[in-house]
Amino acid sequence: MKTKYLFYDIDGTLFPFGLDAPESAVEALRKAHENGHKLFLSTGRSPAEVDPRLHRIYFDGGIYCGGALAYVGDEEIFASVFSTEQVREIIEIGEERGWQMLFQTRSRSVISRELVKTLTALFIKSYGRALKIENLVEVEKYPVLDDVTKVCFWTPDNDVASIREMLKGRFDVIDNTMGIPLECSAEIVLPGQSKSVGLKAILDYYKEDISSSIAFGDGANDIEIIRDAGIGVAMGNATDNVKAVADYVTDDILLDGLAKAMKHFGVY
């Protein structure tokens, strides 16, 4: 079989929120690698935020920060970061409106102490457990960083829709993919940023056509990559807007959905 380039979201696709990957998924990825296919992460997390439990699975690289960074091995082949002026603008708007924020970079994520408490409470309410994120640096005052790739925020006014309209043209505001209420939390990215951009950068690196790619996902930041990949696969637990653009909808993550989809398309 011709080599396929396989792209995997983490939370909700490889990992149920707050849990380890199902053994069926781990085994399917191992077999796909043994069969000569190329495996890539495709995540909203930064490289520094990736759960260490994924290190037992071989990956050829990854798309991180929702498409702001793309790697083949340890080589960064694509990067899109906020200017310090853009970071200052977001800090000013956020502080004025009472946002709690997380600024994501390659090496760490800077987060307000208040947002740590807020997210922990929201995860426990939604899932009965917290979501583990590596390399979080808690701060009282937000620093103006020069390598920000994405900003996550929680708004006390439940006004994400109006914020999206307010920032239109300067930034894109996308739904959060953490499974918490969409009206109170979202992600700010640079215009046009998506995992699909990272997918194309990696395929260009290998001089491969997009038809050789398969993308797996479940959340709002997977829409573009699932729509644009050669084959787009939505998990059974995916949101309806992801399922709407997918070529194939598999079972829920906890019902071995990832392994079943990979078997269906013959990569293991």
- Nearest CA among 152, 260, 200, 241 for reference residue 40: 200
Domain with CATH 3.30.1240.10 in the chain: 84-189
Q: What is the pLDDT along the chain (268 residues), one digit of tens a residue?
A: 699 999 999 999 999 877 889 999 999 999 999 999 999 999 999 999 998 889 899 999 999 999 999 999 999 999 999 999 999 999 999 999 999 999 999 999 999 999 999 988 887 777 776 667 778 899 999 999 999 999 999 999 999 999 999 999 999 999 998 878 899 999 999 999 999 999 999 999 999 999 999 999 999 999 999 999 999 999 999 999 999 999 999 999 999 999 999 999 999 9
Q: Return the pLDDT at 126.
A: 73
Number of residues that make up the chain: 268
State residue 150's pLDDT score: 97
pLDDT in tens, 133-148: 778 899 999 999 999 9
Q: pLDDT by residue (tens digit) across 211-255? A: 999 999 999 999 999 999 999 999 999 999 999 999 999 999 999
Q: Determine contact, residues 79/64, Cβ cutoff 8 Å.
A: no
CATH code matching the domain that covers 5-80+193-264, chosen among 3.40.630.30, 3.40.50.1000, 3.30.70.1450, 3.50.50.60: 3.40.50.1000
- The predicted pLDDT at position 20 comes to 87
- Please report the pLDDT score of residue 133 as a whole number: 78
Q: What is the pLDDT of residue 219?
A: 93
- Give the pLDDT of residue 127: 73
CATH fold for the domain made of 84-189: 3.30.1240
Residues of each domain in the chain carrying CATH 3.40.50.1000: 5-80+193-264
Amino acid letter for position 110: V
